[in-house]
Each structure stands twice: as structure tokens, then as C-alpha cells.
């Protein structure tokens, strides 16, 4: 009987995923194997020659079967790493994307003390920023109470729960105060683009967090209209965008009287974030 090792089963898993058109078969197989073994993915290389016991083997097979149906890996294992921290997810929140780390990097490029995160989902943006800035405080909002439950869980896991309040709000509707940093990754997929999405996204991410059911710009119009009144003088606004939306969102921000409007690419060179700033004078 052939010896069943981590290495042999990783090869089997990667081959099976490759054969059904998964774009990252080796990476996905490694993440599923690590979850089956109950170890961090970066420790997997130390166990390649180990024999797998039956419990771990059948967990791994079960995970592979779910991935064969195009269930995203993060949803199979219950979360993913974002900005170096593990974030729990559920069907109520977006699976955090590596591209969103572009927004985190830009936000951390300047000091801030009071943060507002609109449409927080899993809380990955607000929590990452507060974890990196130990003196900052923040408010994170979402329309979905189920999403806020996940965000609260993640806040506790990362020790920032005393510095962030989670509120049910439709953009600025339930928010007061002024902030020197406002961030958001709003729903920006146009309704006509939904059918073109990968099944991992279209069939598993909550549609409320993906699309406005219109042209993909509804959220940016609301954010542009409200942000000047909620930013402190000199405060910054950072939003994630779809890669073709930079000019339109930038124009919305300029029309709202915001200054220093700029479009920033992600690591793949695609437009990913639009930044703006409230002037030192203006809306009072």
C-alpha cells in the first residue's frame, strides 16, 4: 500500500484543482492541507514527509470536494490572512482581498487619530488600521448586523475592541462627529458586470457588498456628498474602487469640494484607491 504523506496528497489535490480550471491549484491545496492538519500554512513545509492520519486525510478530501464546487478557500477554512492578521469571515461579509491592502498602506502613510470605516464588513480595514496605530480610535459601520457580529469577533481577536464602536448605518446616516481619516470599500460592481464575475465571487460573496444594482457609483456619490461634513480640516478620505472607476470617482470627489484628489494603483498596476482631502477651510 502506498504511503500517504502530506507531499503526495498535496500533489493529488493540486492536480485535481488544476484539472477543473482553478487558477491557483498549488496555493489552494496548501491552504486546505494546512487547515486539515490544524497548522499555520507557513509551517506546512516542515511536514511534507509526514504521514497523514485518517482524520486529517478525510478532512482534506472534504475541503477539496468543496473547492471543486468553486467554494472559495477562505470560506472553506473560515477566514484568511489580511495585512498579516487572520480575519474570520461568514456568508454575511466579503472575503478580504489582497488588493485592499493598497488602501491600508496609503492610510498608514500619514498619522490619524480618529477613524471612520463605512461599510466595514469583516472589519478588516478598520481593525488593521487600529491595530497598527495603538492610540487611534474609530467607528465602523455597516447595514448588516450579521456583518457587524463578525467584525466585533475580529476586533476582539486582535485586541482593538475597546477602541472601536460598531454601528448599524446607511453610509453617514447613523454617524456623528468629525474624523481625520474616512475609509471605505463600498459595493462598486455595476449590475451589468455581475454575470462576468468569477463564481467564487458571484456565488459566494454577499451581493449587498458587491453591487449597488445600478452603475457601480451609487456609494461613491453618497460618500462624496457626506464626507466634507465629517472630515476634520485636512482630514483624508480613501476609498477602494474598481479598476475602471478612477476618473469617475475622482470627479465626484472634486465636485464635492475635496482637494488633493489622486488615483492610486495596486501592485498589479490597476487603479485601486482614490484619495482626497478636505481643505483647511470649507464645510463647517
* Predicted pLDDT of residue 3: 79
Nearest Cα to Cα of residue 194 among 185, 203, 184, 181: 203
Q: Where are the domains of the chain?
A: 6-69, 90-277
The three three-digit cell numbers of residue 168, written as one number: 448599524
Cell of 102: 493598497
Q: Residue 72 corresponds to which cell in the numbers above?
A: 472559495
Percentage, residues of the chain above pLDDT 70: 98
C-alpha cell at 31: 491552504
Contacts of 249 (CB under 8 A, 6+ apart): 217, 220, 224, 239, 241, 263, 274
pLDDT digits (tens, 9 = 90+) for 211-258: 989 999 999 999 999 999 999 999 999 999 999 999 999 999 999 999
- Strand stretches in 31-169, DSSP E: 79-82, 85-88, 114-118, 137-142, 164-168
Q: Is 223 helix (H, G, I), strand (E, B) or coil?
A: helix
Q: Which of 3.20.20.70, 3.30.420.10, 1.20.1250.20, 3.40.50.150 is the CATH number of 90-277? A: 3.40.50.150
pTM of the model: 0.92
Q: What is the pLDDT of residues 75-119, one digit of tens each?
A: 999 999 999 999 999 999 999 999 999 999 999 999 999 999 999
The residue-averaged pLDDT of 184-204 equals 92
pLDDT at residue 147, as a whole number:
97
Amino acid at each position: 500500500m502506498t504511503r500517504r504523506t502530506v507531499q503526495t496528497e498535496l500533489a493529488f489535490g493540486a492536480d485535481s484543482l488544476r484539472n477543473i480550471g482553478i487558477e491557483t491549484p498549488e496555493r489552494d491545496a496548501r491552504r486546505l492541507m494546512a487547515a486539515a492538519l490544524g497548522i499555520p500554512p507557513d509551517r506546512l513545509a516542515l511536514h511534507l514527509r509526514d504521514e497523514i492520519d485518517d482524520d486529517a486525510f478525510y478532512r482534506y478530501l472534504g475541503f477539496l470536494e468543496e473547492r471543486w464546487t468553486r467554494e472559495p478557500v477562505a470560506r472553506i477554512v473560515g477566514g484568511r490572512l489580511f495585512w498579516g492578521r487572520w480575519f474570520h469571515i461568514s456568508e454575511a461579509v466579503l472575503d478580504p482581498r489582497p488588493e485592499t491592502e493598497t488602501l491600508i498602506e496609503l492610510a498608514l502613510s500619514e498619522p490619524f487619530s480618529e477613524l471612520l470605516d463605512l461599510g466595514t464588513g469583516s472589519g478588516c480595514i478598520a481593525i488593521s488600521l487600529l491595530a497598527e496605530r495603538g492610540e487611534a480610535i474609530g467607528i465602523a459601520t455597516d447595514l448588516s448586523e450579521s456583518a457587524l457580529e463578525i467584525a466585533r469577533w475580529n476586533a476582539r481577536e486582535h485586541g482593538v475592541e475597546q477602541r472601536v464602536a460598531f454601528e448599524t448605518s446607511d453610509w453617514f446616516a447613523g454617524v456623528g462627529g468629525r474624523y481625520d481619516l474616512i475609509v471605505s470599500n463600498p459595493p462598486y460592481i455595476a449590475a451589468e458586470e455581475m454575470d462576468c464575475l468569477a463564481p467564487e465571487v458571484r456565488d459566494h460573496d454577499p451581493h449587498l457588498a458587491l453591487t449597488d444594482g445600478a452603475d457601480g457609483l451609487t456609494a461613491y456619490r453618497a460618500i462624496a456628498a457626506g464626507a466634507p461634513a465629517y472630515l476634520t480640516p485636512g482630514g483624508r478620505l480613501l476609498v477602494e474602487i474598481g479598476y475602471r472607476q478612477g476618473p469617475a470617482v475622482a470627479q465626484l470627489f472634486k465636485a464635492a469640494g475635496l482637494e488633493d484628489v489622486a488615483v492610486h494603483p495596486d501592485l498589479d498596476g490597476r487603479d485601486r484607491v482614490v484619495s482626497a482631502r478636505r481643505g483647511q477651510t470649507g464645510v463647517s
